[in-house]
Amino acid sequence: MAWKLLLSFFWLGLCRAGGLLSPKESPSREVKDLGGLWGFRADWSEQRDAGFAGRWYLQPLRQSGPVMDMPVPASFNEITQDPNLRRFVGWVWYEKEVLPPIRWLQTETRTRVVLRIGSAHYYSIVWVNGVQVTEHEGGHLPFEVEISHLLADAPGEPCRITIAINNTLTPNTLPPGTIQYMPDESLYPKGYFVQNTHFDFFNYAGIHRPVLLYTTPSAYIDDITVTTDLIGNIGLLQYLVSIQGSPRYSVSLTLHDGDGKVVATGNGSAGELKVPNPILWWPYLMHERPGYLYYLKVVLSAEVDGTISEDSYTQTVGFRTIRVTSNQFLINGKPFYFHGVNKHEDADIRGKGLDWPLVVKDFNLLRWLGANSFRTSHYPYAEEIMDLCDAYGIVVIDECPAVGMKDSANFGNKSLQRHLAVMEELIRRDKNRPSVVMWSVANEPASELAPAGQYFKTVIAHTKSLDPTRPVTYVSNAKYNRDQGAPYVDVICVNSYLSWYHDPGHLEVIQLQLNSQFDNWYKTHQKPIIQSEYGADTIAGLHTDPPLMFSEEYQSAVLKEYHAVLDQKRKEYVIGELIWNFADFMTNQGTTRVLGNKKGIFTRQRQPKSAAFLLKERYWKLANESLCLTPPKYDDVCLPSAQQLKRS
């Protein structure tokens, strides 16, 4: 089959770089969470290089100067009352002493110990007991390194982990930025500089996601790649298992349904399983059993130095198909209409730090709202969030951190190589997720610039070579006839803020301009369209009649004007609408922002504005067009238990 040939390239490209399986406990694996309070200090030296000159990593951090407590995960910008630390740009240093269990270090167990950082923004260098073990560029994806050899030298002794993080953005980082120096000492202090960016959210920094130690046997399952297809009533699951640590091994696989029943078995590191009449993974609100997951248990038996050791790992699987036509987005052969939100991983005190109460609250609000999807604007979200999307049936447009690409310098070869590498990391992490239905390779780039055409042609082709099973898009705010990259995407995603940034206050022009926008894009490119952003800043509790800008009434009025056109065009070629934004979020200070972006339909504290009730009524009405559904009551159990994620 042609799709099998395509998948062989998919597997080949991803396996070259090694696996990035999410740490899970099993009979052969243990996980130790290193969250909590870490030692922290910022390098305030003029060149931000005192930590390297003084080799702070060679001794406990407190011996090099004052250290404060810093929670992990969290953004250091939000933790203290120091405004200078809030806007700090440069190197900061984290440190924690950890006592690994002695059983991990016993020679006879042959245990690998791996240090994994879920996300550290932006550039990281890591030392263990003063020895550099790895470095990583990029602030939104995990990275890891084996440290067994360093721990074996001192069994039973604490292990000191030091992480230096630099949040400086340059024209070639993703996202990009520039450093602007202010040399006039009559106006600015000596050495004064600021970080400039072209994106509208605060550049939070620090260790944003969990730091873990986990173990595997010395011969271990390094990666698992699964893809699904449907042929008639047969579900096909192709798999590839990558093994490291021994050339002599056997692999057995059992596929369990959600109730734990074995529905298929297999052997070998590559092959295909067939499941008669599989229960499909459906998006939320499209089926009585949304987010249905199977569990592929992989067991490795390997010979190491004359003895047999075993490793096991359980990979979640969702049977579903995706297809895009010139005017539809099909999931499992049925038209899917995206009615959802754009989000930010923006808590209050944690900044972008993973916050479980906030995560669960947001998913319950999504269900209350009747939203079936969201875009990870404008960077990949935490693995834990993606796990819940798989389990709950929330459809995801998975976006990389290519936001703020507004200058021709952002389209050079250095930027391109970084962009390609980020897409490899993102696909390696999220390739098996049924909730991820499309990759987004950028948000609002200057795609009208001449270099953008070849640039995005290359990025999109590379993304498709890594994963031919999903469509690819990017989100545009360029003119339909000037966008150089639009010919290469599968779905047109358009951001527009009519009667806000354009013709502010004039609600009467929205329908005319929006109709023209859609018709022009479709006539030019003959591809389905998503209204990927629209909205208006709104101060909660501000009311005016007639509706005036920044009032709750104006936000609702803007939405109603958009919805009138969307209801016409979704019968033709518009396949989705994603409100900007789910909740208010923090931005840089500026004269157009009052403590952040206020386009949320919920406040930053997750309280609804009037528009939230308007969208709730609309989204449940859209869901009811194909199914008999009613909005949840306050005493309903909002979501299924996430315990199903732990089934083996």
Q: Which are the catalytic amino acids?
A: 444
Q: Which residues pair with 127 in a beta bridge?
A: 132, 162
Write the CB contacts of 314 (distance below 8 Å, at least 6 apart in sequence): 24, 26, 295, 296, 297, 298, 647, 648
Interior CA angle at 183 toward 78 and 591, to 5°?
45
Q: Which tokens is 137 given?
A: 């560029």
Distances in whole angstroms, Cα of residue 262 to Cα of each of 212, 281, 294: 31, 18, 10
| Unique residue bearing structure tokens 């806007």 | 87
DSSP structure class, residue 188: S
The SS3 call for residue 635 is coil
The alpha carbon dihedral of 18, 24, 28, 33 has a sign of positive
CA angle in degrees (0–180, nearest 5) for 395-397-398: 120
Only one residue has tokens 């930027």, namely 415
Would you state the structure tokens that stand for residue 59, as one six-digit string? 């001794």
Query: Are 342 and 375 within 8 A, CB to CB?
Result: yes
For residue 234, which amino acid is it?
A: I
C-alpha 401/C-alpha 403 separation (Å) is 6
Question: Where does residue 643 fall: left (phi above 0), alpha (psi -120 to 50 degrees), or beta otherwise?
Answer: alpha
Asked if 469 contacts 437 with a C-beta cutoff of 8 angstroms, the reply is no
Do you know the residue count of the chain?
A: 648
Do the beta carbons of residue 278 and residue 319 sit within 8 Å? yes
Q: Are 174 and 417 in contact (CB under 8 A)?
A: no
R_g over Cα of the chain: 25
d(CA 197, CA 201): 9
CB 597 within 8 A of CB 537: yes
CB atoms within 10 A of CB 184: 7
Q: How far apart are CA 330 and CA 327, in angstroms?
A: 10
Rounded to 5 degrees, φ, ψ at 343 are -130, 170
Q: How far apart are CA 395 and CA 285, in angstroms?
A: 11
Tell me if residue 566 falls in helix, strand or coil: helix
What burial class does residue 521 get, using C-beta atoms within 10 Å of its C-beta: 0-12 exposed, 13-18 middle, 19+ buried?
buried
